[in-house]
A = this chain, B = another copy of it.
Amino acid sequence: MIVILLYLRIKFFSMISLLSNLKIAVPDKIFIKDPESSDLGKRIIEHSILLIDDIGFDSFTFKKLGAQIGSNESSIYRYFESKHKLLLYLTSWYWAWIEYQMVFATHNVADENDQLLRAIDVVTRTIKEDVAFTHINEIVLNRIIINEYSKSYLTKEVDSENKEGYFVVYKRVIRRLSDIISHVNPDYEFPSSLASTIVEGALHQHFLKAHFSSITDCGKDVTPTEFFISLTQKVLKTTTDESR
């Protein structure tokens, strides 16, 4: 019965509804208490996204967040041991959501280059619609990723945190893209570097578009998606006269 209902919802409401039934999996060492497990937890996530977007991660504090949600600083500390861990949670959630879309978008697509185009689209596009079935506003979260993601790994603790598995989701997204690249052109020598360059580069181009428009071609007419699709197609095109 549940299975049938689920199936119908998938058919009828497509991905948007599917997501409301699935739980995005975040490595559980990141939090002390799962924010998805309570109302307060969900409010913490919902409003931390809005507040970080508003004042920036550097100015964001648990005290300010507490004020926003009418809760206490000390209660937030029962979910996350630091604001850095909260950022790791948000970014992991984001990449898990991207991963899900990538799998969904490429599934059952026969042509491998077509798969690649769809995968690149998923990781480079601007999020324009809030799924709105959850407490997480993906449009705003996407902005946070553009503006703050680097700060989650540009720390002295990267290596130990990496060992703890805090970046697995991100790495998995890149490896999936890398695998698709290798399928399209098995002779290409740098699939992982190309994949990581696309993912990181797309965030960067979005940032430049908003703040340093003179050093990007992305803007009104050109999207990061177009730029990276063009680039990837050219890089992977096997020319017969592959000189030296």
Distance (whole angstroms) from the CB of A230 to the closest CB of chain B: 7
CB-defined contacts of A197 to chain B, threshold 8 Å? 197, 201, 204-205, 231
Q: Mark each residue of chain A from 202 to 214: 1 if its CB lies under 8 Å from any CB of chain B, else 0.
A: 0011011001101
- Taking a contact as CB atoms under 8 Å apart, the answer to whether B193 and A200 are in contact is no
- A154 interface residue, CB < 8 Å from B? yes
- Taking a contact as CB atoms under 8 Å apart, the answer to whether B154 and A215 are in contact is no
- Taking a contact as CB atoms under 8 Å apart, the answer to whether B196 and A231 are in contact is no
Complex Cα–Cα for A208 and B178 (A): 15
Number of copies: 2
Distance (whole angstroms) from the CB of A198 to the closest CB of chain B: 9
**Stretch with Cβ within 8 A of B (4 or more), from A25-33, A106-114, A216-224:** A216-224
Chain A at the B interface: SS class: helix
Q: Mark each residue of chain A from 176 to 208: 1 if its CB lies under 8 Å from any CB of chain B, else 0.
A: 001000000000011111111100110011011
Complex Cα–Cα for A62 and B65 (A): 29
Distance (whole angstroms) from the CB of A224 to the closest CB of chain B: 8
- Taking a contact as CB atoms under 8 Å apart, the answer to whether A215 and B171 are in contact is yes
- Taking a contact as CB atoms under 8 Å apart, the answer to whether B201 and A55 are in contact is no
- Taking a contact as CB atoms under 8 Å apart, the answer to whether B190 and A230 are in contact is yes
- A58 interface residue, CB < 8 Å from B? yes
**Stretch with Cβ within 8 A of B (4 or more), from A43-51, A94-102, A145-153:** A145-153
- A174 interface residue, CB < 8 Å from B? yes
Chain A 63-102 residues near chain B, CB threshold 8 A: none
CB-defined contacts of A214 to chain B, threshold 8 Å? 171, 175, 192
- Taking a contact as CB atoms under 8 Å apart, the answer to whether A171 and B56 are in contact is no
